[in-house]
Amino acid sequence: MKTPVPRIALIHATALAVEPIAQAFERHWPQARRMNLLDDSLSVDLAQAGRLDDAMVQRFKDLAVYARGTGCDAILFTCSAFGPAIEAAGAAVRLPTLKPNQAMFEQALAQCPALGGTLGLVATFEASIAPMSAELLQLARLHGRHIELQTRFVPRAMDDLAQGRVGQHHQKIADAARTLSDCDVVMLAQFSMAAALPQVEHALPCPVLSSPDCAVLAMKRTLQHG
């Protein structure tokens, strides 16, 4: 009996995340059926408000309910600053729902020394740093791990990418990452940063992880193996 091809909803808070996750699916799971939902006001509203509020959490639930109504088997959010809202959305629809950096964090912890270690996180969206740091440190505690986390924000890099200055975007990220050369693993926080991975790898002696590839592989394992 032929296994049905899963339908996966990709929910974005910025258009800059659409192409990186599409490319990751083409690399790792081209057979999966994808549908894209974009609300590019979410990132703007979070940056202006400075925090997640109840109304914003409800918007995530509404997007997830809509995705479920289209017949999706699972949901992958590509927006890295909204962890609690994504958890609430997943609980509301009772579908496999993956936060964008969840799989990357798991892999980073697995590659860290067993007795501790230092992880680096580079972000181009400043509002994502606090919730992502809290999420990673909580995950480390659940695994019984003590880690040190160093973070770097790259100002104006996201604007460079949006305005087509791809080379400048990549260079700024690589320059920021170079200051994390003492880390055991360095992570690129936003999906939109994925194309800078080769340049960052060249700048660092340690492993570098990007969230789209980790997320697609984790979603594939979840749906194919339960």
**Cα gap 76→34, rounded to integer Å:** 10
Q: Which residues contact 135 (CB under 8 A, 6 or more apart)?
A: 83, 99, 101, 102, 105
Whether 144 maps to a domain, the answer reads yes
- State pLDDT tens for residues 58-113: 999 999 999 999 999 999 999 877 888 999 999 999 999 999 899 999 999 999 88
pTM score over 0.95: no
The residues facing 153 across adjacent strands are 123
What's the pLDDT band for 18 if we cut at 50, 70, 90?
Answer: very high
Count the Cβ atoms, other than its own, within 10 Å of residue 6. Answer: 19
Residues 61 and 117 in one domain: no
Q: What is the pLDDT of residue 49?
A: 86
Q: Are 147 and 185 in contact (CB under 8 A)?
A: no
Residues 14 and 96 in one domain: yes
Q: Which domain holds residue 204?
A: 102-211
Greatest mean pLDDT among 46-50, 172-176, 188-192: 172-176
Asked if residue 219 has pLDDT above 60, the reply is: yes
The structure tokens 């994390």 sit at: 180
> Computed from CA positions of residues 125, 131, 136, 137, in that sequence, does the dihedral angle turn out positive or negative?
positive
Residues 44 and 60 in one domain: yes
Q: What is the CATH number of the domain that holds 147?
A: 3.40.50.1860
Average pLDDT, the chain: 92
What's the pLDDT band for 1 if we cut at 50, 70, 90?
Answer: very low
Percent of the chain surpassing pLDDT 70? 98
**Cα gap 75→26, rounded to integer Å:** 17
**Cα gap 54→61, rounded to integer Å:** 11
The structure tokens 């995340």 sit at: 17
Residues 220 and 207 in one domain: no
**Cα gap 103→96, rounded to integer Å:** 13
The residues facing 12 across adjacent strands are 38
Residues 204 and 107 in one domain: yes
Least confident of 51-55, 97-101, 112-116, 169-173: 112-116
What is the number of domains present in the chain?
2
Mean pLDDT value of segment 167-182 = 97
Mean pLDDT value of segment 146-159 = 96
Whether 2 maps to a domain, the answer reads no
Residues 131 and 165 in one domain: yes
